[in-house]
Structure 1
Amino acid sequence: MRFPELIRLMCKAGAEIIVIPAAFNMTTGPAHWEITVRTRALDNQVYFIAASSSRNLDFTYHAYGHSCIANPWGAIIKEADEKEYILYGELDLDMVQKVRKELPLLKHLRNDIYEVCKK
């Protein structure tokens, strides 16, 4: 989730929904979790589902938690707190196409100047 290139490759391959397991801690989580989820969804115009470990203060690693779902506009539509939780959300795939039509970001990529590619 931290590195946008992987998400862009998934998007270029046709993904409309991306599910990523991630583990942000109590330092990076409050500062970066939500903005990173929203940015990945918006920049790639996909539903972005970020699954995080729940927080357990008895463990040495304290996860931030807050699994969430962002829509293609980058809005959080569902979010858990730090506790163990099963997150349910309704995804409208027509919205992906609508957003991509209204704001055609992906059509304006400058692959003639730079390209994200896999090896």
Structure 2
Amino acid sequence: MEGNALNREPGRQWAWLIPWFSGGFASLVSNVTGADRVSFFVVGMTAGTIWQLLFRRDLASRLTFMAVVVTVGVVATLASRREFVWEDMNTAGLGAIGILLGLIYTEHYLRWRDRTAERRPTETIAEPRR
């Protein structure tokens, strides 16, 4: 399962742009609805779902780069001994959690669908006798 979920070739490698721009879209939605936290969470979950559908990959493989970036950032912050304050942590954190949940739930659904399809008996059409 190295890199590809269920040994499938990924489809659209540009799909990472969807979660990348989802924060801007969530800001627009929250301006219209007035619900910052809900907007970021729902848009994040939707972006994660679309990302997994378009570019299906194993989640550990997909999230390795993000984990390395966060680890380097945390270590750098701890080494600098300065306080780290992120003003939008409330909404951006919910967006990131939504993206991750969308990825995970979509992959579980796709795996369930694939297992169900494998269990169905294959129907063979008998060739007409001559």
- TM-score in terms of structure 1 length: 0.30
Q: In proportion to residue count, which structure has more helix?
A: 2
- TM-score in terms of structure 2 length: 0.29
Q: In proportion to residue count, which structure has more strand?
A: 1
Of structures 1 and 2, the larger Rg is shown by 2
Between 1 and 2, higher relative CO (CA 8 Å, sep ≥ 6) is seen in 2
